[in-house]
Amino acid sequence: MKKLETIIQPSRFEMVKEALAEIGVEGMTVSDVRGHGRQKGHTEVYRGREYTVDLLPKIKIEMVLPDHLVDAAVQAILKAAKTGKIGDGKVFLSNVDEAIRIRNEERGENAL
Partner 1 sequence: MRWRTSGALCLLAALICSLGSVAVPVHAQTALPQGAASSSLAAPASPPPADRIARLEQQVAEARSSGDNAWMLVSSALVLMMTGPGLALFYGGLVRKKNVLATMMQSFALMVLITVLWALVGYSLCFHSGNSFLGGLGYFGLRGVGPLPDADYAATIPQQTFMVFQLMFAIITPALITGAFAERMKFSAMALFMALWSFLVYDPMAHMVWGKGGLLNATLGGRVPTLDFAGGTVVHITSGVSALVCALYLGKRLGYPKAPMPPHSVVLSFIGACLLWVGWFGFNAGSALTAGSLATSAFVATHFSAAAGALGWSVSEWLRNGKPSVLGGISGAVVGLVAITPASGFVGPMSALVIGLAAGLICYFMVATVKARFGYDDSLDAFGVHGAGGTIGALLTGIFATRAVNPIFRDARGNALAVGLLDGNGRQVWNQFIGIAVAWILSIVGTLIILAVVDRLIGLRVPEEQETQGLDVSQHGEEGYNLET
Positions touching partner 1 (CB under 8 A) are: 44-49, 51-52
What is the smallest separation between the CB atom of 65 and partner 1, expressed in angstroms?
Answer: 31
What is the smallest separation between the CB atom of 41 and partner 1, expressed in angstroms?
Answer: 12
Pairing of strands 2-8, 56-65: antiparallel
What is the smallest separation between the CB atom of 48 and partner 1, expressed in angstroms?
Answer: 3
C-beta atoms surrounding 28 within 10 Å: 17
Give 46 or 105: the residue with its C-beta nearer to partner 1: 46
Give 49 or 85: the residue with its C-beta nearer to partner 1: 49
The CA distances from residue 90 to 7, 18, 44, 66, 96, in Å, are 5, 18, 26, 20, 19
